[in-house]
């Protein structure tokens, strides 16, 4: 135990002293989050907004007026039917639909709760995420103002009386809305497989591993001493990614965070095992880099990050049964975007656990203290 | 009692024989010098004896344990200093010693004590918290030696410990070797410096994977009818 703790300490000291690694760990996620999604033109200039007014009261009309005066929105006017609104959204003519319920004025004035439905065109996640915040601010500010003007102190104190229901409109599950959570997957994968493989091969290259191999240290102690620090770094990176996702894109995890973290922890072990296995096979950093990148690209292309897995040919679907990233991607989609339960991702969790066991066993078996 | 017994120890890389049926014995507490031209097979022999490389055939007993079947036991009882400096450059002097001391199972309190004593002896105490990368080569080599014997091994393998080091540090280094030998540690050392060969209790000369000569420096000089080991070596290599 003391040996493993010492090895962990050694690894952390080295990581924190490596300017290159530190900048990769801290800057990479930020750069990825900021640049990657925007490459697909997510510039937010003006958001097109349309309304369904079921109340048709003074208050509801004033609220709609409020949107027109905001610089962020361009009003596309009133719409009669939900189906027409859907059509507009499909054609990308509108970004938001605000639906004011019947008895809106009555409920607000009577200081009862009211629920406004917002439908966001989530084909473009970034626009939808940021825009949603704007819409809610406009509504919130307006109601607060109204309350103050009419002396309804209770209402202005208790903003909870007003709620919005947000519907993400994204019928075809267009790939763009997967990019942001997909970056989380890429981050975790890179730390797990890439950084660890390179770290171990580097010890081989500079010869420090020889000094370790002549000691009575056991293989599993050595591997745990490598694995735990990179596992912790990977988890930290993932949590940082979740914060950035919230901060920049207002995407919050819809499902249970503990379940998400647990599955991420398992996925990290899969990637660590893979990284160690590669480093045992590769002779130098160049080889390791090449193998990792080859696998990485295959994993990413098949994982459903850029193209939905449903539309893939049979052979690709078959290979995906061996692709840990595809299972994890699925989990992320379900947990982050859709808010699924653990029972919905049980199969994925079990598969990833089996993969973790197999790859780590392979890593231990292939790690040689002495060479032939 | 023998610390090292090599029996027909052989290593082949493909069809190339790097170490060819070498036989020798090293007594406990002895300083045994291993001489040979570049590529003679010295490093290969040392790596086999310290469990980093499996022999193709033959065997060696290190402290009584076979390198073929009992390398786990051997590792507890040996120290090893690689030809290529292989402590961590991005850790401090203290952190390196602490890491390896802990790996060998020295209890923390005792370890601190030993590190401090050892650094004091090496006059490295003021570099205790310096990154290893920042200290000069001569000190690095002394540090590597001190680290290799921190756990008080029975045998220590030193692969060209003084190559590239200035004469003053070399002399200091040999003082350390003598101190260690006086404590009963068997020293197995390779070198290209002939003056260092004279410091050894016994030396052997290796060439093309074979052990050609073995004996005390005086015996070898007499045998070849010359006055220095350097002449022995040159005469021998030219033969
Ligand atoms: N892994 C290997 N594969 C193939 N050949 C090898 C390997 N390791 C060493 N050799 C060869 O074996 C021979 C002996 O090498 P070794 O390193 O043992 O020599 P050495 O006596 O230590 O030389 P030096 O004084 O240069 O350190 C050399 O010709 C070397 O090229
Ligand atoms: Mg050598």
Give the end of a domain, one of A112, A134, A169. Answer: A169
Q: Which domain holds residue A106?
A: 42-169
State which residues form the domain around B15: 2-238
Number of domains in chain B: 1
The verdict on A219 and A323 lying in the same domain is yes
Whether residue A223 sits in one domain with residue A123: no
- Whether residue A267 sits in one domain with residue A213: yes
d(CA A135, CA A133) in angstroms, rounded, equals 6
In this structure, the answer to whether residues A158 and A223 fall within a common structural domain is: no
Q: Which of B9, B17, B39 for a ligand 1 pocket mutation test, highest count of atoms within 8 Å of Cβ? A: B39
Instruction: Check whether residue A135 and residue A94 sit in a common domain.
Output: yes
Whether A125 is in a domain gets the answer yes
In this structure, are A266 and A355 located in the same domain?
A: yes
Contact criterion met (CB < 8 Å) for A215 and B52: no
Please tell me the predicted confidence (pLDDT) of residue B154. Answer: 96
Q: Whose CA is nearest to atom 18 of ligand 1?
A: B41
Substitution site in B34, B41, B46 for ligand 1 pocket (most atoms within 8 Å of beta carbon): B41
Domain contains A371: no
Q: Which of B86, B226, B72, B191 is nearest to A209 (CA)?
A: B86
Both A187 and A119 in one domain: the answer is no
Give the predicted TM-score (pTM) of the model.
Answer: 0.77
Average confidence score pLDDT of chain B? 92
**Alpha carbon of B119 to those of B125, B128, B165, B220: distances in Å?**
5, 8, 19, 37
Q: How far is the CA of B148 from the centre of ligand 2 (A)?
A: 18
Interchain contact B199–A (C-beta under 8 A): no
Query: Interface pTM (ipTM) of the complex?
Result: 0.92
Q: Which residue does chain A place closest to B83, by CA atoms?
A: A207
> Is A210 in CB contact (< 8 Å) with chain B?
yes
Highest mean pLDDT among A78-82, A160-164, B75-79: B75-79
CATH number of the domain that B110 lies in?
3.40.50.300
State how far the Cα of A340 lies from the Cα of A35, in Å rounded to an integer: 28
Chain A: nearest CA to B143, how far in angstroms? 13
d(CA B70, CA A61): 88
**Residue A237 Cα to chain centre, angstroms:** 12
Q: Are residues A349 and A249 in the same domain?
A: yes
User: What average pLDDT does range A284-290 have in this prediction?
Assistant: 90
Task: Provide the pLDDT for residue A236.
Answer: 93
Look at residues A169, A202, A236 and tell me which one is the last residue of a structural domain. Answer: A169
Nearest to A17 among B82, B90, B100 (CB): B90
- CA–centroid distance, B44 to ligand 1, in Å, is 6
Ligand 1 lined by B13 (C-beta under 6 Å)? yes
Asked if the structure places residue A232 within a domain, the reply is yes
A13 and A155 housed in the same domain: no
Interface mutation target, options A216, A219, A220, chain B, most CBs of B under 10 Å:
A216
Mutate to test the pocket of ligand 1, among B11, B12, B13, B204 (most ligand atoms within 8 A of CB): B13
A288 and A179 share one domain = yes
| Ramachandran sector of residue B49 (left: φ over 0; alpha: ψ -120 to 50; beta: rest) | alpha
What would the pLDDT profile of A227-265 be if each residue is shown by its tens digit? 999 999 999 999 998 988 888 777 788 888 999 999 999
The answer to whether residue A156 scores a pLDDT higher than 60 is no
Task: Say if residue A266 is in the same domain as residue A213.
Answer: yes
A372 domain-assigned: no
Put simply, the answer to whether A370 touches B71 (Cβ < 8 Å) is yes
> Which of these three, A154, A169, A184, is where a domain ends?
A169
Q: What is the pLDDT of residues A324-346, one digit of tens each?
A: 999 998 888 888 877 788 888 89
Report which ligand 1 atom has the smallest distance to the Cα of B11.
Answer: 12
Average pLDDT over residues A141-168: 64
CB within 5 A of ion ligand 2: which residues?
B 42-43, 83
In a domain, A60, yes or no: yes
Task: Pick the atom of ligand 1 nearest to B41's CA.
Answer: 18
Of all protein residues, the one whose alpha carbon is nearest to atom 16 of ligand 1 is B41
Residues A194 and A236 in one domain: yes
Number of domains forming the structure of chain A:
2
A25-59 burial, b for 16+ CB within 10 Å, e for fewer?
beebbeebbeeebeeeebeeeebbbbbbbebebeb
Residue A66: CB atoms within 10 Å: 17
CA dihedral A228, A229, A234, A238 (to 10 degrees): 100
């Amino acid at each position: 135990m003391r040996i493993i703790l010492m090895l962990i300490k050694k690894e952390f000291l080295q990581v924190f002293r490596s300017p290159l690694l530190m900048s990769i760990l801290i800057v990479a996620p930020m750069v990825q989050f900021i640049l990657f999604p925007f490459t697909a033109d997510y510039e937010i200039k003006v958001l097109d907004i349309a309304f369904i007014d079921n109340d048709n009261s003074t208050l509801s009309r004033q609220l709609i007026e409020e949107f027109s005066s905001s610089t962020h929105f361009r009003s596309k006017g009133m719409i009669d039917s939900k189906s027409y609104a859907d059509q507009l959204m499909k054609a990308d003519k509108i970004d938001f639909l605000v639906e004011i319920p019947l008895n809106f004025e009555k409920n607000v004035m009577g200081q009862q709760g009211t629920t406004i439905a917002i439908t966001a065109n989530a084909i473009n996640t970034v626009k939808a995420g940021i825009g949603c915040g704007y819409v809610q601010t406009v509504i919130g500010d307006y109601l607060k103002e109204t309350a103050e003007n009419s002396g309804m102190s209770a209402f202005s104190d208790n903003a909870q009386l007003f709620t919005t229901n947000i519907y993400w409109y994204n019928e075809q599950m267009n790939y763009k809305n997967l990019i942001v959570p997909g970056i989380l997957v890429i981050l975790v994968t890179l730390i797990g497989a890439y950084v660890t493989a390179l770290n171990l091969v580097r010890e081989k290259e500079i010869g420090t591993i020889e000094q370790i191999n002549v000691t009575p240290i056991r293989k599993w102690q050595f591997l745990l001493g490598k694995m735990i620090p990179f596992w912790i770094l990977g988890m930290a990176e993932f949590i940082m990614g979740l914060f950035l996702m919230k901060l920049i894109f207002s995407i919050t995890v819809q499902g249970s965070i503990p379940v998400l973290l647990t599955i991420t922890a398992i996925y990290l072990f899969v990637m660590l095992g893979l990284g160690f296995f590669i480093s045992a096979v590769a002779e130098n950093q160049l080889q390791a880099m090449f193998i990792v990148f080859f696998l990485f690209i295959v994993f990413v292309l098949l994982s459903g990050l850029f193209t939905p897995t449903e539309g893939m040919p049979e052979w690709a679907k078959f290979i995906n049964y061996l692709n840990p990233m595809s299972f994890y991607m699925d989990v992320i989609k379900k947990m982050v975007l859709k808010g699924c339960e653990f029972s919905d991702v049980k199969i994925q969790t079990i598969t990833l656990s089996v993969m973790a066991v197999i790859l780590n066993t392979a890593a231990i078996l292939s790690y040689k203290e002495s060479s032939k | 009692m023998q610390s090292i017994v090599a029996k027909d120890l052989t290593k082949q890389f493909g069809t190339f024989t790097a170490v060819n049926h070498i036989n020798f014995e090293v007594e406990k507490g002895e300083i045994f010098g291993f001489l040979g031209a570049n590529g003679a097979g010295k490093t290969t022999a040392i790596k086999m004896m310290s469990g980093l490389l499996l022999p193709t055939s033959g065997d060696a007993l290190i402290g009584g344990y076979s390198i073929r079947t009992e390398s786990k036991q051997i590792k507890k009882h040996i120290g090893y200093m690689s030809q290529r400096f292989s402590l961590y450059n991005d850790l401090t002097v203290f952190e390196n010693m602490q890491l390896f001391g802990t790996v060998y199972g020295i209890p923390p309190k005792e370890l601190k004590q030993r590190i401090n004593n050892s650094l004091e002896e090496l006059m490295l105490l003021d570099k205790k918290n310096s990154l290893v990368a920042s200290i000069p080569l001569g000190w690095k080599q002394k540090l590597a030696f001190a680290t290799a014997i921190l756990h008080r091994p029975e045998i220590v393998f030193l692969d060209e410990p003084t190559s590239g080091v200035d004469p003053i540090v070399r002399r200091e280094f040999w003082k350390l070797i003598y101190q260690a030998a006086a404590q009963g540690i068997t020293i197995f050392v390779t070198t290209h410096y002939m003056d260092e060969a004279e410091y050894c209790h016994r030396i052997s000369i290796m060439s093309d994977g074979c052990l050609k000569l073995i004996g005390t420096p005086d015996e070898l000089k007499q045998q070849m009818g010359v006055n220095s080991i350097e002449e022995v070596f040159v005469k021998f290599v030219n033969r």
